[in-house]
A and B are shown apart, each in its own frame.
Chain A
Amino acid sequence: MSYIFLYALVGMGLFTLGLYALIIHAHLLRKILAINIMGSGVFLVLVALAARTEGAAPDPVPHAMVITGIVVAVSATALALALMLRVRSETGRAELDEEPLSKFDD
């Protein structure tokens, strides 16, 4: 079942892309988008691997975990957005302090 592994590989690609963007972007909204894409990648790997046995119905346990995960992801996103708005109203910027990285600038 080659197409199953295709989806698993796409999921891993999404996770890697999201991790890269999470690290390099300073803007918090972009970091939140990146975390959501990483999560989608993880879900894709889980569901793809649940369907990999040929001729059998997919394993329902990872499906249930992913459904729970999607709802948890949206509530975590809402909390992260509220935190971002609070950071913005405290500091005037929707970015975290870049101090730890500034020594690489020169």
Chain B
Amino acid sequence: MNNTGENTIPLSLRLLLMVLLTVMAVGLAYAVLSLPAQAPGLSVYAVENINISGVSNPVTAVLLNYRAYDTFLELGVLLLALLGVWSLGCAGCQHQSSPGPVLDSLSRLLVPILIMVSGYLLWAGAHAPGGAFQAGSVLGAAGVLLLLAGWRIHAGLAGLPLRIALVLGVAVFALVGAVLILPGGQLLAFPPAYAGGLILLFETVATLSIAISLTALFLGADPDEEDAS
């Protein structure tokens, strides 16, 4: 344990910390165990309105209809994190090892499967476990696998097209949200007749944006600048 850097903190201070944290944990445990055993929470409302939400999976209904602004802001957070990573630059992002034969053939095999699984999750999210976040992260994993296998984005796509794909999710949410406000509605309150189609549109753009953002976060530096330097 001497190598973990803990030894910079003296034992007495560590013991004090343990005591304080134990007190905190006991307090938290008491708070949780004294909660009422039966509490349906918001599930009653979620199930009551499922017929006008456009989908039959309650989690997708919450994510993309009842609380669609959560998903909207979450896409914003992804974009901000990516801007932060790009603005920091990246020392040591350039050099990388060439993939071995196993990784090369594995990525050839897995990437099509991952893309198919992602498409299935996107479609199934309306009525079964799945949805934009899961599909986006599976697609992002496919992108990471491609990057590991030595693939790089085409120089012509690294500039504006990449940026358009990155802001696609936020832009579509903002645009459709604004259009829905105009006839006197509320932000991202879908009319029940169009809810199913709108949710599919949102899920598709969110999947693409999440996947490309996660892949870009893995790459670390702005591929456009990487090429320029």
Contacts and interface: CB of A to CB of B under 8 A. Distances in A.
Q: Do A and B bind each other?
A: yes
Contact of A67 (B63, B81, B214): B63
B35 A64 contact: no
B43 A59 contact: yes
Contacts of B218: 78
Contacts, number: 153
Interface in A39-96: 45, 49-50, 52-54, 56-65, 67-68, 70-72, 74-76, 78-79, 82-83, 85-86, 88-89, 95
Contacts of A20: 17-18, 21
A56 B40 contact: yes
B85 A79 contact: yes
A67 B42 contact: no
Interface residues on B, range: 35 or more
B6 interface: yes
Contacts of B107: none
Nearest to A27: B5
Contacts of A86: 88-89, 91
A9 interface: yes
A76 B35 CA distance: 31
Contact of A64 (B39, B62, B220): B62
Contacts of B178: none
Interface of B: 4-6, 8-10, 13-14, 17-18, 21-22, 24-25, 28-29, 32-33, 35, 37-43, 46-47, 58-59, 61-63, 66-67, 70-71, 74, 77-78, 81-82, 84-85, 88-92, 131, 133-134, 136-137, 210, 213-214, 217-218, 220
Interface of A: 1, 5, 8-9, 12-13, 15-16, 19-20, 23-27, 30, 45, 49-50, 52-54, 56-65, 67-68, 70-72, 74-76, 78-79, 82-83, 85-86, 88-89, 95, 98, 101, 104-105
